[in-house]
């Protein structure tokens, strides 16, 4: 589990899609500074989003340029339902989602606290994902957007979609 790539808890699917749209608008390749200007953001604020998009295989960074991959181009051109599927497939082996999917298969439902406990068993993951509320918010953003699970707000449990 510890050797799997991981993504920043502060990055949302909308941020990744927005970034890919901007890069696509520049022909699929553009300078990092140009993206910052277009999004009216600091380069430092964009780095976690770029890192997540790269980890998920949607873009690469080459000599300061951000370049859409074939998968990134596919996502940009996709219909909303296909975007969700592409994102769902991209997060399958990325932490903390890989552990969440493992919990879904074994328990049929889990809470963010239970995921937090699993992540904290692996030292390097526990250091990055140390806030249960942040994990809860991240799960809501990604798993609900990609329609991977259902969410029971009363019990704060993520459940297998039937």
User: What's the confidence (pLDDT) of residue 123?
Assistant: 62
User: What's the confidence (pLDDT) of residue 125?
Assistant: 59
pLDDT per residue over 56-87, tens digit each? 999 999 988 999 999 999 999 999 999 999 99
pTM for this structure? 0.88
pLDDT per residue over 86-126, tens digit each? 999 999 888 888 888 888 888 888 888 888 788 777 666 55
Mean pLDDT, all residues of the chain:
87
User: What's the confidence (pLDDT) of residue 21?
Assistant: 96
The CB-side HSE value for 50 (13 A sphere, CA atoms) comes to: 24
Q: Is the pLDDT of residue 3 over 70?
A: no
Residues ≥6 apart with Cβ < 8 Å to 103: 110, 114, 115, 118
Average pLDDT over residues 120-133: 67
Question: What tokens appear for 119 in the block?
Answer: 């992540």
Q: What percentage of the chain exceeds 70 in pLDDT?
A: 91
d(CA 53, CA 31): 15
Which has the closest alpha carbon to 10: 50, 70, 65? 50
Q: Is the pLDDT of residue 1 over 50?
A: no
Q: Is the pLDDT of residue 11 over 70?
A: yes
Q: Is the pLDDT of residue 134 over 90?
A: no
Average pLDDT over residues 20-48: 92
């Amino acid at each position: 589990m510890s050797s799997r790539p991981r993504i920043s808890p502060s990055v949302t699917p909308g941020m990744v899609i927005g970034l890919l749209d901007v890069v696509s608008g520049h022909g699929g390749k553009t300078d990092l500074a140009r993206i910052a200007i277009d999004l009216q953001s600091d380069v430092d604020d964009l780095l976690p989003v770029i890192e997540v998009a790269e980890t998920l295989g949607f873009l690469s960074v080459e000599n300061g340029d951000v370049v859409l991959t074939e998968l990134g181009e596919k996502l940009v051109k996709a219909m909303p339902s296909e975007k969700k599927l592409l994102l769902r497939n991209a997060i399958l082996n990325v932490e903390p989602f890989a552990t969440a999917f493992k919990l879904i298969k074994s328990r049929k439902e889990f809470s963010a606290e239970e995921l937090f406990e699993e992540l904290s068993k692996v030292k390097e993951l526990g250091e990055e994902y140390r806030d249960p509320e942040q994990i809860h918010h991240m799960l809501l953003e990604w798993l609900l957007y990609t329609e991977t699970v259902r969410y029971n707000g009363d019990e704060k449990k993520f459940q297998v979609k039937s």
